[in-house]
Amino acid sequence: MSHAPVRSHAAKPHPAMVHFALAMGGFAIGTTEFATMSLLPFFARDLHISEPTAGHVISVYALGVVVGAPLIAVLAAKIAHRTLLIVLMAMFAIGNGLSALAPTFGWMLVFRFLSGLPHGAYFGIAALVAASLVPPERRTAAVGRVMLGLAVSTVIGVPLAGWLGQAAGWRWGFVIVSALALTTVALVMLLAPRSEVPEGASPLRELSALEKGQVWLALGMGAIGFGGLFAVYTYFASTLLEVTGMGAGDIPLMFGVFGLGLTCGNIIVPRFADRAMMPSIGVLLIWSAAALALYPLAAHNVWMVGIDVFAIGIGGAIGTVIQTRLMDVAGEAQALAAALNHSAFNTANALGPLLGGLAISAGYGWTSTGLVGCALALGGLVIWAISYATSRPARAPSAG
């Protein structure tokens, strides 16, 4: 018996180091998710398709996340978290490597779908591991540090992939992502703590999350409310070229401004969310609706669009807060609920570009994506109001 504490102590590296390893995976995922959008005009031209059609590449990746996240979380319920993280990142590296080699638009769709499959499960399991290493009152901050990898990718990874894609070809953007994913595999193997499979873990226990109304409402906030950001972001490069009048070489810098807003949001917002989670989600949805509504006006001026896209980026912190909300309402089905968060956000990633593309194709112009986004954020706010109203009576008993 005296040996158990020694093994436990030796198996626990400093939480900050583990969070860094997990955040590197977020950096890789964020780079491919957002850089694909910034490279959209370039691979559309190379694959001989229109830009709204090229938006399907974004949507099919998101579909991979939506399908893969719950499927993997349920089927892998009895796999240790560390092992699962390594396998998921290896899958991600292979999918992005194949995307770099895609010879046609059809193959590009297949490889992007495969790349999306491990995305949600990785973030879900990484969030659970990160939260398990800190006290309960610091869970959102811990999850925020993992998501910070995604946010920082929009400041560093996306501009780097964008510049390299323009200089050497868009395929190199996916090569970078594959290399980042392999780096994550090495870091997780080195730093992530070994853990046992939770007692009683099973696919059926994970599926119990689907019986909880508050889980579905939290997912709805993300699936609808976050879609507005993607409606704008997917066609941001084209808007900057066609409406703002920026040169192609300056576009990665503007994507970096968005990333800076997303990074600031993920640093600041979790500090408040651990004390007032649902109010924080409501404020973020209102903030996003306002910033998106201003986008059609701001898009005509380079300084105004920079300020506005920074504000839109701040609203992206809602992903971190909803992740912790799901931990609170999912009961014992933590893995599936955590993974489903990313299914929800990639439903948003599919819905936003789809509706934005429809508005553009209908002749409403590139800036119409802002109004589409505002409507989606307000839709998320309606779902938030239902969740907040129906969860209030249950909050006092759950505190005990």
DSSP 358-397: HHIIIII-TTHHHHHHHHHHHHHHHHHHHHHHHHHHHHHH
d(CA 116, CA 349): 12
Tokens linked to 358: 């429809």
Neighbouring C-beta atoms of residue 53, cutoff 10 Å: 14
Rg (CA), the chain: 20
Reference 132, options 45, 195, 38, 208; nearest CA is 195
Q: What's the whole-model pTM score?
A: 0.76
Give CA angle at 197 (321, 211), nearest 5°: 50
Tallying the residues shown for the chain, one arrives at: 400
In CATH terms, the fold of domain 8-391 is Growth Hormone; Chain: A; (1.20.1250)
DSSP structure class, residue 198 = P
Dihedral sign for Cα atoms in the order 44, 150, 224, 338: positive
What pLDDT does residue 204 have?
Answer: 57
163, two tokens: 């510049």
Gap between the Cα atoms of 257 and 272, Å rounded: 23
15-38 helix and 119-132 helix, angle to the nearest 10 degrees: 150
- CB 145, CB 94: distance < 8 Å: no
Beta strands in the chain (DSSP E): none
d(CA 85, CA 82): 5
CA angle in degrees (0–180, nearest 5) for 113-326-77: 60
Q: Please work out, in degrees rounded to the nearest 5, the angle formed at the alpha carbon of residue 267 by the alpha carbons of 176 and 286.
A: 105
pLDDT tens, the chain, 400 aa long: 444 444 444 446 688 888 899 999 999 998 887 777 777 777 787 787 777 777 788 878 878 888 888 888 888 777 888 889 999 999 999 999 998 888 888 898 999 999 999 998 898 888 888 887 888 778 788 888 888 888 888 778 877 877 777 777 788 888 889 999 999 999 999 888 877 666 655 565 666 667 778 889 999 999 999 899 989 988 888 899 889 888 877 887 888 888 889 889 988 888 888 788 899 999 999 999 999 999 999 999 999 999 999 999 999 888 888 988 888 887 777 777 778 887 888 788 778 888 998 999 888 999 999 999 999 999 999 999 999 999 864 443 333 3
Whole-number Å distance between alpha carbons of 376 and 351: 9
What whole-number distance in Å separates Cα of residue 309 and Cα of residue 296? 11
Amino acid at 126: A
Query: Measured on CA atoms in the order 363, 365, 371, 377, is the torsion positive or negative?
Result: positive
Cα distance between the two ends of the chain:
33
Of all helices (H) and strands (E), which one includes residue 9? helix 3-10
User: Which residue, chain included where needed, has tokens 């599919």?
Assistant: 350
- 218 Cβ partners below 8 Å, 6+ apart? 322, 325, 326, 329, 341, 344, 387
Q: Which residues contact 336 (CB under 8 A, 6 or more apart)?
A: 70, 73, 74, 124, 206, 207, 209, 210, 330
Look at residues 40, 282, 371, 76 and name the one whose alpha carbon lies nearest to residue 197.
76
Structure tokens at 41: 């005009």
Per-residue three-class SS string for 313-357: HHHCCHHHHHHHHHHHHCCCCHHHHHHHHHHHHHHHHHHHHHHHH
